[in-house]
Amino acid sequence: MLGLAALAALMAMAFVGASSAMAEGTSLCTGDGSGCGSTHVHETSTSKAKLLTTFLTVECDVLFLGDALSTLGAPLAIHGKFTYTNCGGCEATEENGPAEIKVLRLGHETADITGEGLVHVVCGSSLDCSYNGVGLTGTGKGPLLSTAANGEVSLQKQVTNKEAGGFLCPTTSKLDITTTPLSATYLGS
């Protein structure tokens, strides 16, 4: 949810959104055109990730730790775990992991990012809900195009859907998150 996938969220370095005919194979690199084939991904939110419900906004710091399933993919699949901290009076935990992130390089230092995962959010007696992040989409930029030194992944106003059950759960909520790798991560092919 918060960060899902991204993702960050989510949350590696780029995901799917264009047709495969327009996209290229994707590899994570430690240098601009060098050191490609990295498989370890470690990202943190640049500011608090926000889950915006109709009556409450939950804000958390997000950390993603994962590994690419190969060194080159179209898209490149990454499995990992999101950790949520400093959520004010709320708690957020990833469930049914690992979260899956897909990165698809579209061109020089740009990629589409898609993510999928499940987050359980509890805020005292006012919110106890699980949201899935199926179909979350974002934009990945390598260090050469990003405003963050090491690159970034950004998901804005992405819809999360309530899972069955829960207490006072809006059917849909929206997720805003931007993450950056802990070390420079370039997008190669």
- Cα 71 to Cα 16, 56, 140, 179: the distances in Å are 17, 40, 18, 21
| Model confidence pLDDT, tens digit, residues 26-66 | 999 999 888 999 899 999 999 999 999 888 899 999 999 99
| Residue found under tokens 């997008």 | 187
The C-alpha angle 78, 79, 81, rounded to 5 degrees, equals 125
DSSP for 100-158, written as a single string: EEEEEEEETTEEEEEEEEEEEEEETTTEEEEEE-TTEEEEEE-TTT-SSTT-EEEEEEE
Q: Is the pLDDT of residue 13 over 50?
A: no
pLDDT at 23: 55
**Strand order of the sheet with strand 34-38?**
34-38, 27-31, 186-188
Radius of gyration of the CA atoms of the chain, in A: 16
The more confidently predicted of residues 92 and 53 is 92
pLDDT at 126: 80
Domain boundaries, the chain: 27-182
3-state secondary structure of 22: coil
pTM: 0.85
